[in-house]
């Protein structure tokens, strides 16, 4: 039996948005879904109970980071990542590819894999497609990623083509190495940069290999937004209807909506948690830098329309004070709010799809979020 099962519930009649249910060994996920990022076996500043309370059904964790610290063997001994971090809902792990390729000066790519140095202590390591499967098997995530090469932007055609070929070969090797298919689903990752024919070819060849789900990688790495949207739109054309699609590393409110409209089911991004820790929060009227002086005596909540724990109990003035005073509670309250904002946005998106109203919802949301600006 397969580890996960995707049920397509309904399609919006006016665009490619899909309402679905994803069954995993750790619970049911309504899609489209936003996955909070828990890089080091913790969604920064949050407890698992708080994540559940705001409606998170799946989180992402990073293979590269956990491999280096505390080490996947320790997590395996603890009984797996779920038990180690006290999270009994679904977990998706990435392959470490994106992180390893981000270590520009610290890595060397061969056909066999990537040699890199730890950002923590400079020690040498070697990731192969088989190794990252072994690590993810030890972690016990519900959804795993194939090892891929994420080409930079911009990159010339030949480089991206070669990189895509490598990614496909590595996907094959990873698939062969993955034994625990009944408990863990391995996704293939579509690469191909901003070249339409490469994206199409990569998608088709991965689909031929029959993965239980497909990721769209290598986007939101510097290309213009309309280019990203076009590539997503094109890619989902070649992905099967009965498998989930995951757009990696994307999670601003506008990108979530635009991604769903183009047929994406799953998203993750460090944005909401990272900007929260710096004192920036989402509101129904756009982003707000609560650290700023104008909020010193503003006793209203972060967002008048929000009913999260933070907005029910604390004022902008208090949260600003906590940020100015470098208090940990500042990060907690802002993080909780930002994650709730995105999770609730996804809920509204799902409801809109159910009503065939996603395009109308988008218009209303953007109007309020960006104010009266002509362009957004």
187 binds its own copies (CB under 8 A): no
Does 142 qualify as catalytic in the annotation? Answer: no
Scanning 6-14, 37-45, 182-190, 208-216 for contacts with its own copies by CB under 8 A, the matching segment is 37-45
42 binds its own copies (CB under 8 A): yes
84 binds its own copies (CB under 8 A): yes
Helix (H) or strand (E) holding 369: helix 358-370
Nearest to 160 by CA among 201, 199, 192: 192
Question: How many residues in the chain?
Answer: 376
Does 94 qualify as catalytic in the annotation? Answer: yes
DSSP line for 274-315: HHHHTTEEEETTEEEETTSGGGTT--S-S-TT--SHHHHH--
Write the interaction track for its own copies spanning residues 195-214; mark x where CB under 8 A is met and - where it is not.
--------------------
Task: Please report where in the chains the tokens 């056909």 appear, as a residue.
Answer: 111
327 binds its own copies (CB under 8 A): yes
| Least spacing, CB of residue 320 vs its own copies, in Å | 8
Q: Which is nearer to its own copies, 46 or 185 (CB)?
A: 46
321 binds its own copies (CB under 8 A): yes
Residues in Cβ contact with 179 at an 8 Å cutoff, skipping those fewer than 6 apart: 137
69 binds its own copies (CB under 8 A): yes
| Spatial separation of the C-alpha atoms in residues 189 and 167, rounded to whole Å | 8
Q: Is 97 marked as a binding-site residue?
A: yes
| Spatial separation of the C-alpha atoms in residues 349 and 75, rounded to whole Å | 36
Contacting residue, 77, 162, 176, 179, with its own copies by CB under 8 A: 77
Residues taking part in catalysis = 94, 268
| Residues engaged in binding its own copies (CB under 8 A) | 40-42, 44-47, 65, 69-70, 74, 77-79, 84-86, 296-297, 299, 313-315, 317-318, 320-322, 324-325, 327-329, 331-332
């Amino acid at each position: 039996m397969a580890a996960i099962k995707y049920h397509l519930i309904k399609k919006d009649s006016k665009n490619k948005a899909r309402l679905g249910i994803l069954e995993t060994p750790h619970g049911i996920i309504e899609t489209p879904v936003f996955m909070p990022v828990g890089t080091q076996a913790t969604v920064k500043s949050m407890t698992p109970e708080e994540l559940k309370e705001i409606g998170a059904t799946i989180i992402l964790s990073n293979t590269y980071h956990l491999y280096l610290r505390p080490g996947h063997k320790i997590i395996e001994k603890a009984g797996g990542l779920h038990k180690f971090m006290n999270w009994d809902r679904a977990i998706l792990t990435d392959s470490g590819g994106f992180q390893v390729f981000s270590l520009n000066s610290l890595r060397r790519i061969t056909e066999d894999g990537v040699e890199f140095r730890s950002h923590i202590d400079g020690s040498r390591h070697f990731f192969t497609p088989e190794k990252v499967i072994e690590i993810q098997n030890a972690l016990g995530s519900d959804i795993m990623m194939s090892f891929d090469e994420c080409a930079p932007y911009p990159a010339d055609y030949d480089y991206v083509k070669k990189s895509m070929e490598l990614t496909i070969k590595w996907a094959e090797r990873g698939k062969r190495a993955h034994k625990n298919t009944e408990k863990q689903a391995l996704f293939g990752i579509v690469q191909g940069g901003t070249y339409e024919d490469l994206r199409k070819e990569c998608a088709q060849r991965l689909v031929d290999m029959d993965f239980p789900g497909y990721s769209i990688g290598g986007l939101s790495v510097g290309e213009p937004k309309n280019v990203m949207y076009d590539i997503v739109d094109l890619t989902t054309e070649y992905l099967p209807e009965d498998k989930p699609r995951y757009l990696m590393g994307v999670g601003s409110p506008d990108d979530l909506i635009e991604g769903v409209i183009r047929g994406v089911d799953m998203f993750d991004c460090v944005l909401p948690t990272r900007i929260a820790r710096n004192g920036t929060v989402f509101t129904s009227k756009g982003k707000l830098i609560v650290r700023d002086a104008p909020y010193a005596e503003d006793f209203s909540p972060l967002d008048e329309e929000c009913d999260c724990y933070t907005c029910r109990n604390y004022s902008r003035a208090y949260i600003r004070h906590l940020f100015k005073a470098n208090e940990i509670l500042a990060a907690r309250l802002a993080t909780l709010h930002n994650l709730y904002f995105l999770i609730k946005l996804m809920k509204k998106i799902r409801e809109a799809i159910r009503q065939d109203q996603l395009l109308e919802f988008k218009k209303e949301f953007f109007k309020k979020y960006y104010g009266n600006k002509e362009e957004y």
